[in-house]
Chains A and B, each alone.
Chain A
Amino acid sequence: MDPIKQDGSAAVNGRKRAMELLAKASTEELQAGWQAIKAKPEVHAVRGPESGLVMVRGRIGGRGDPFNLGEATVSRATVRLGSGEIGHGQLLGNDRERARLAAVFDALRQRHEHRQAVDALVDAVERRIAAEDRKRAEQTAATRVDFFTMVRGDD
C-alpha cells in the first residue's frame, strides 16, 4: 500500500498541499528547486509526461447538480526515483516539462533527505502566489463602489 495512505490525514494533507503548489510553480521555480537538490537521485519515467484534457464541471445555479462546462488542457507525469518512490505531477496547460518536474518533486518529498528542500520550494511558491493574490485583491478593492461616500461627499 502507498505509505501516504497509512500515515493518516496529516501526511495526506501535506502531500496534497505540496502537489497543488507544485502545479502552480513556474518553470523557473522548479528548475531552481532542482538545482538546489544536492545528490540528485536517478529519475525514471513511469507515465508520460503527456498532455490531455479534463472535463471541467460547474454546478447549475452555482451549487446545484453538476454539468459539463467545457474541457481544459492538462499535463501529467509519473516518475519513479532510483530508490523506488513514485511521484505524480499534474497541472493545467500544455507544459509537459513542468508536469515532469512537479512529479519529480512529489517523489523527492517522500525521501527524508530531500523533504526540507522540497518544502522550501513549495513554501516559496505559496508566498509568491499569496503576494500576487493580495495585489489583485487590493486592486479590485480599490474599485469598490462606496455609496455612502458618494452621498456624504466627504471622501
Chain B
Amino acid sequence: MYVAVKGGETAIANAHRLLADRRRGDRSLPAISIDQIVAQLGLAVDRVMAEASLYDRELAALALRQARGDMIEAIFILRAYRTTLPRFGLSVAIDTARMKIERRVSATYKDLPGGQLLGATFDYTHRLLDPSLLTDEPVADPVRKQADESAMMRVCDILADEGLIEADGRLPQDHVPGDLTREPLEFPLARDLRLQALARGDEGFLLALAYSTQRGYARTHPFVGEVRIGEVEVELDMPELGFAVSLGRIQVTECQMVNQFKGSASNPPQFTRGYGLVFGQSERKAMAMSLVDRALRAEEFGEDIVAPAQDEEFVISHSDNVQATGFVEHLKLPHYVDFQAELDLVRRMRAEYDAKSGGVREAAE
C-alpha cells in the first residue's frame, strides 16, 4: 500500500519541466513532426493504436512523441484519452473478405487464387544495417504491374469447400458480443471477449505465449493458412437515415491459423482454427494472437489444460500492458508507512531471535 504524501510539488513541477526539455533534446536539431512519425515510424504508430485499442494515427503519433518513443507509456496516454470521448455507436462488423489487399501470403498453398502478394515486407531482407539510411538518399518509386481486380478468395474457404476445416466461429444464438471496456471480466470468457482482450494485448506477451505453444507447451500444430493486410470500410448504422454509411477505411491485419484435427463420433476429423485480427500493419501480433486464440480453445476441444498459453484466466489477466505496467510501476511510489511497519516487524523478529539464541548460548556456557 502506498499513501499520499505532500511537499513534492516544486520538485514534481521541475521534473516535468526537465522532461519537456529532454524530450525536445538538442535544440539545434529540427523537432520531429506528427506527420513524420505517422509517415516514417508507421509500424510503431500501429502498435500504439492496436494496444491502446483506439484507431487514430495522428493521436497515436502524438502519444509516441509525448512518451519519447516509450511504447507502453504512449499506449497508456492514448487509452487515457479514449476515456474522455463519448461513444457514438457500434460499427457494422468489418468484412475482411472485401479488404483492399496490400499483402497476402499463405503457407499452406503455393498456387492459390489471387496469388501470394508479398507487399512491403521485411521478409527476405538480410537484416543488415543499411548505411544508406544514415543520409536522405532518394528512394526509387515502386514497380507497378497490372492488378487483379477480383476479390481475394479466403484460404479457409478452399478447405471449407471440402468440409476439411471447422466453420468460422459461432456463439450461441442469443449471445450479445461482450465488451471489456464496459463490463468487468468474469471467467470463463466467451471467445468474442477473449479476442477483444487479445487484440489489445501486449505484443511481447502474446508473442512469448505463442512461442511457448510451438516449443511444446500446448502444441497446436499450426500453419499460416493466410495472413492478409489491407484496408476495410468501417460502416455505421444511421438511425436518423435508416441505412448504414461508411465512415472511411481502416487498415487491419488478419491471420487465419490452421491447426491440427479434431473429430468426434458425430463430426469427421477436420482442421481447427485460431484467429487473429489487429489494427494497422501488425503481422507478428496477428499471428501470435491466432496461436493463443487456438490454445485458449483447449476446453472447447476437450484438450488437457497443461500449459500457460491454455490457461484463460492467466493469459487474459496478464495480457494488458497498461494494467501490468500500472501495478508493477506503482511499486516505486512512496510506500514509506508500509515499509516502516515491515522494518519494525523484522526488527522485533531479530530481537526475539537474538534473545532466543543468546539464551541458547548462555545455557550452553
| Chain A residues within CB distance 8 Å of chain B | 2, 4-5, 12, 15-16, 19-20, 23-24, 50-74, 76, 88, 90-94, 133-147
Do B247 and A91 touch across chains, with their CB atoms under 8 A apart?
yes
* Best-buried of A54, A91, A140, A141 by chain B (most CB within 10 Å): A140
Check if B191 is an interface residue, CB within 8 A of chain A: yes
Check if B246 is an interface residue, CB within 8 A of chain A: yes
Do B195 and A71 touch across chains, with their CB atoms under 8 A apart?
no
Do A138 and B144 touch across chains, with their CB atoms under 8 A apart?
yes
Q: Please give, as numbers and ranges, the residues of chain B lying within 8 Å of A57 by CB-CB distance.
A: 90-94, 177
Do A73 and B85 touch across chains, with their CB atoms under 8 A apart?
yes
* Best-buried of A61, A71, A94 by chain B (most CB within 10 Å): A61
Do B245 and A67 touch across chains, with their CB atoms under 8 A apart?
no
Do B275 and A91 touch across chains, with their CB atoms under 8 A apart?
no
What's the least CB distance linking A46 to chain B, in Å?
11
Check if B148 is an interface residue, CB within 8 A of chain A: yes
Do A54 and B248 touch across chains, with their CB atoms under 8 A apart?
no
Q: Please give, as numbers and ranges, the residues of chain A lying within 8 Å of B169 by CB-CB distance.
A: 59-61, 64-65
Do A52 and B85 touch across chains, with their CB atoms under 8 A apart?
yes
| Chain B residues within CB distance 8 Å of chain A | 49-50, 53-56, 58-59, 82, 85-97, 100-103, 110-111, 115-121, 142-149, 154, 156, 167-171, 175, 177-181, 191-193, 195-196, 199-200, 234, 236, 238, 240-243, 245-250, 252, 254, 256, 273, 275, 277, 279
CB < 8 Å: which of B95, B117, B247, B250 contacts A144? B117
- How many contacts between A and B, using CB within 8 angstroms? 231
Q: Please give, as numbers and ranges, the residues of chain B lying within 8 Å of A141 by CB-CB distance.
A: 117, 144-148
Q: Please give, as numbers and ranges, the residues of chain B lying within 8 Å of A16 by CB-CB distance.
A: 243, 245
CB < 8 Å: which of B170, B234, B254 contacts A62? B254
Q: Please give, as numbers and ranges, the residues of chain A lying within 8 Å of B177 by CB-CB distance.
A: 57, 65-68
Q: What CA separation (Å) do A15 and B245 show in the bound complex?
A: 10
Q: Please give, as numbers and ranges, the residues of chain B lying within 8 Å of A59 by CB-CB distance.
A: 93-96, 168-169
Q: Is the interface of A mostly helix, strand, loop or mixed?
A: mixed
Q: What CA separation (Å) do A23 and B249 show in the bound complex?
A: 10
CB < 8 Å: which of A20, A55, A93, A133 contacts B89? A55
Do B117 and A74 touch across chains, with their CB atoms under 8 A apart?
no
Q: What residue of chain B has the Cβ atom nearest to residue A58's Cβ?
A: B277
Q: What CA separation (Å) do A139 and B191 show in the bound complex?
A: 37
Do B168 and A70 touch across chains, with their CB atoms under 8 A apart?
no
Q: Please give, as numbers and ranges, the residues of chain A lying within 8 Å of B145 by CB-CB distance.
A: 138, 141-142, 144
Do B143 and A139 touch across chains, with their CB atoms under 8 A apart?
yes
Do B144 and A143 touch across chains, with their CB atoms under 8 A apart?
no
Known contacts A62-B256, A66-B93, A92-B248, A140 near B85 by CB under 8 Å: no
What's the least CB distance linking A69 to chain B, in Å?
5
Q: What residue of chain A has the Cβ atom nearest to residue B149's Cβ?
A: A137
Q: Please give, as numbers and ranges, the residues of chain A lying within 8 Å of B247 by CB-CB distance.
A: 23, 54, 72, 74, 90-92
Q: Please give, as numbers and ranges, the residues of chain A lying within 8 Å of B118 by CB-CB distance.
A: 143-145
Q: What residue of chain B has the Cβ atom nearest to residue A137's Cβ?
A: B147
What's the least CB distance linking A41 to chain B, in Å?
21
What's the least CB distance linking B73 to chain A, in Å?
19
16 A/B residue pairs, CB under 8 Å, sorted by A: A2-B241, A15-B241, A54-B91, A57-B91, A58-B93, A58-B96, A60-B170, A63-B168, A66-B93, A68-B180, A69-B94, A70-B196, A72-B55, A73-B54, A141-B117, A142-B145
